[in-house]
Structure 1
Amino acid sequence: MFKDLGKYIFMIELGAKYIKVFKKIYFHPFITLKYGYKELSRARGEYSNKVLEFLNIKVKLIGEIPKKDKVLYAINHRSLLDIIVMENIFYAHDKNGTWIAKQELFDDPIYGRFFEYSGCISVDLENKRGLINFFKTIKKVFSKVDDMNLYIFPEGERYKGEGIQKFQSGAAKIAKANNLDIVPIYIKGKNEEAFKNAPYEKPFTIEVYAGDIISYENLEEKYLEFYNSVK
């Protein structure tokens, strides 16, 4: 019980400190959108690295993160750790990018400001006008940030079953509308349990597989081929 309480207190207190960091960048009146996203990406990575260090969790990447940008990373979703693990990888590869997240996360009284001020882009799947504004926002960002990347969970939400849950259509539509390549990512393991059992006395390793670049056509089918090759 105290072990669980300790890590949540650490993450919340650290998150509160980084919300202040994000806020200064997010509301800065004199920096470009490109520089702002770069600084927010770096700060999210720093936060994630500190959390993983506290939990004594290491990340092992199998495969390569491409040097090119304007890529959409399609990632499976199982755990609270997923974003933190991926931010560790993107930080190590000096990637400028942000997450696509449901509007309900931005409305959360605890984590909402963290998502908003760290540069994540919200989407309201239930609101037609919200969807239109979302695609306009993405288009604007890519017109002004030439080294931008997007991170998305195509399943839409955490999936506790075996295998991969059916994809929502958003990832393919975003990639098509913005002429983005897609890199499939598979985070291996039952990482809800990994988080539950942390922090560890000895380092615990989470494996992450990165596939080759694919196009948006038949995205789910191509992702499943990649998943079956590494599971």
Structure 2
Amino acid sequence: MSVGKRKTTVFNSIRTFSFLFGYLPISAINFKKIVKQKPRLSLQEYDQLVHTEPQKWASGIMKRTNSTVTIIGTENLPEGPVLFVSNHEGNFDIPTFLSTIPKPFGFISKKEVNKFPIIPMYMKEMNCVFLDRTDRRSALKSIADTVEKLKKGHSILIFPEGTRSKGDGIGEFKAGFVRIAKDAGVPIVPVAIHGTADIMEKNNNKIMPANVTVQLLNVVGIDELNDIKPKEAIALVHGRIANALATIATKKLTN
């Protein structure tokens, strides 16, 4: 790495992480004002309003990485609650999704995030679900909690690989997401995300600009889910995302 490129990488890292944590106290003031409006708003209105501060925060983070983010397929978003099912490349997946997907959503997160300052306050109002991956009871409870939130009308994002691929292909999907969608009676929106690992994971945790693509794929409706076996549903969603990732990667190589 050249000296100039190394300086740019250090600068990007400092300003990205400075904004990531530095904006939170300022945002928290605005967020508390938003929470006070909850009693007089509908569920949809409140979810949309809650989404504005995390969206600003995430957009500021992505801007400071100097990355280019493209979203495709927003016309595939149905009305009402959905279960977003995505591959998981890196730590910048969530900021990318928050800054690009127009539908408000919560997500399933590991319980360790609860130890961070301020962030759990946002996540609670966003209807996120916390999971202890070392505790089977916690895993079962997280499924039940997610189903409940979806039934109430909130959309949720899940990474069924369970861990980051760090840009090394797409891993196997755990079966829980199929049960969640069926029990809640909501459609699945498969999502392919490509390029976020190039921001940090592939650079020894230093920030570099990347070309990131988010593609919202054709919806898998609840009737279709109920007509096929869970293994077939997993293969359908996994295959749809894998094919999209391959197409995105090919386009990037040829451009």
User: Shorter-chain TM-score: which interval?
Assistant: 0.7 to 0.9
**Which of the residues 16, 21, 25 maps onto 2:30?**
21
Compute the RMSD of aligned alpha carbons. Answer: 2.9
Moved more, 171-180 or 65-74: 65-74
Aligned ranges for residues 76-225 of structure 1 at < 5 Å?
76-90=87-101, 93=102, 95-108=103-116, 111-116=119-124, 118-127=126-135, 129-131=137-139, 133-145=141-153, 148-160=154-166, 162-189=168-195, 191-195=196-200, 198=207, 204-214=210-220, 216=225, 217=230, 218-225=232-239
Partner SS state of residue 169, structure 2: coil
Larger fraction in strand: 1
| Residues 15 and 114 in structure 1, CA contact (< 8 A), matched pair in contact too | no
What is the match of residue 11 of structure 1?
A: 20
More helix by share: 2
Larger Rg: 2
Query: Counterpart of 1:175 in 2: which secondary structure?
Result: helix
- 8 Å CA contact 1:102, 1:122 repeated in 2: yes
> 2:83, 2:181 within 8 Å by CA — same for their partners in 1?
yes
TM-score, normalised by the number of residues in structure 1:
0.79
Deviation of residue 178 (structure 1)? Answer: 0.3
Aligned length: 222
- Relative to structure 1, the CA distance from residue 129 to residue 183 in structure 2 (aligned partners, 3 Å threshold; closer, same or farther) is same
Flag the 1:118–1:67 CA change in 2: closer, same or farther, 3 A: closer
Unpaired runs of at least 5, structure 1 = none
Higher RCO structure (Cα 8 Å, ≥6 apart) = 1
Counterpart of 2:49 in structure 1 is 39
**SS of 2:155's equivalent?**
strand
> In percent, how many aligned pairs have the same letter?
21
Could you tell me how far apart the structure 1 residues matched to 2:133 and 2:36 are? 26
| Correspondent of 1:55 among 65, 77, 81 | 65
Comparing 133-142 with 47-56, greater Cα deviation is found at: 133-142
| TM-score normalised to structure 2 length | 0.72
* 2:7 equivalent in structure 1: none
In structure 2, the CA distance between the partners of 1:121 and 1:31, relative to structure 1 (3 Å rule), is farther
Report the residue type matching 1:221 in the other structure. Answer: A
